[in-house]
Amino acid sequence: SQTIHQWPATLVQPVGSPLSLECTVEGTSNPNLYWYRQAAGRGLQLLFYSVGIGQISSEVPQNLSASRPQDRQFILSSKKLLLSDSGFYLCAWSVKFRNTEAFFGQGTRLTVV
Amino acid sequence: GQSLEQPSEVTAVEGAIVQINCTYQTSGFYGLSWYQQHDGGAPTFLSYNALDGLEETGRFSSFLSRSDSYGYLLLQELQMKDSASYFCAVISTGGFKTIFGAGTRLFVKA
């Protein structure tokens, strides 16, 4: 069966510090991969999606970047965090060419102080 | 641009039926999905509609009208555990992107 791992679960970082969130998927090959951010009590904002290794599409200009160094690994990064980067970050995957259902990781709650 | 509209909150009593509406405006529409999210948890998939009509999965049903750019999620025999946020999501751009609405918070009362 397929599983998705996302870590860490919670993170408190000072303004100006770097960020690296990692997500890995097991049990499937060549998935579509996604990073979403959710502000408290709000919807999910699509940040990045990837249809293959090294292929990253950015949805919203911001202080973040994403990379996909391996087929089932998706990394969200920032060189210098801003207060506005605080939120609940969710990684998700879907079957290639069948994006009807996305499977989410348990999320990382990031607080920038 | 792309946008989805759904009510921010709905309250219903245990055992009742509730309908959560979603209207969307998007390019390259592929289908409409629904997700449930409990506080602090990850969204989980409920239902998907690619064609007009009703899809039924147990106590949950989802409806789509492509001509009206409208869909809804119907929850029957409400239980306390159904208290959660419900999101409609549009799949667009050749099936690669999933854009979520702001979510509807459902409160189920005894």
A40-69 per-position pLDDT tens digit? 878 899 999 999 999 999 887 678 999 999
Q: Which residues on chain A are in Cβ contact (under 8 Å) with B101?
A: 43
| Local structure of A23: helix, strand or coil | strand
- What residues have CB less than 8 Å from A63, skipping those under 6 apart? A78, A80, A81, A82, A84, A85
How far is the C-alpha of A93 from the C-alpha of A82, rounded, in Å?
27
Two tokens, residue B78: 């409400």
CA dihedral A40, A44, A46, A47 (to 10 degrees): 20
Cβ <8 Å between A49 and B96:
yes
Q: Which residues on chain A are in Cβ contact (under 8 Å) with B35?
A: 102
Q: pLDDT by residue (tens digit) across B36-95?
A: 999 989 999 999 998 999 999 899 999 999 999 999 999 999 999 999 999 999 987 666
Output DSSP code: residue A18: -
Q: pLDDT by residue (tens digit) across B6-45?
A: 999 999 999 999 999 999 998 778 889 999 999 989 999 9
Output DSSP code: residue B82: G
Q: pLDDT by residue (tens digit) across B94-108?
A: 667 788 999 999 999
Strand A65-70 and strand A10-13: the pairing is: unpaired
Of A46, A100, A105, Cβ closest to residue B31: A100
Task: For Cα atoms A108, A84, B90, give the angle at the middle one, nearest 5 degrees.
Answer: 65
How far is the C-alpha of B101 from the C-alpha of B86, rounded, in Å?
9
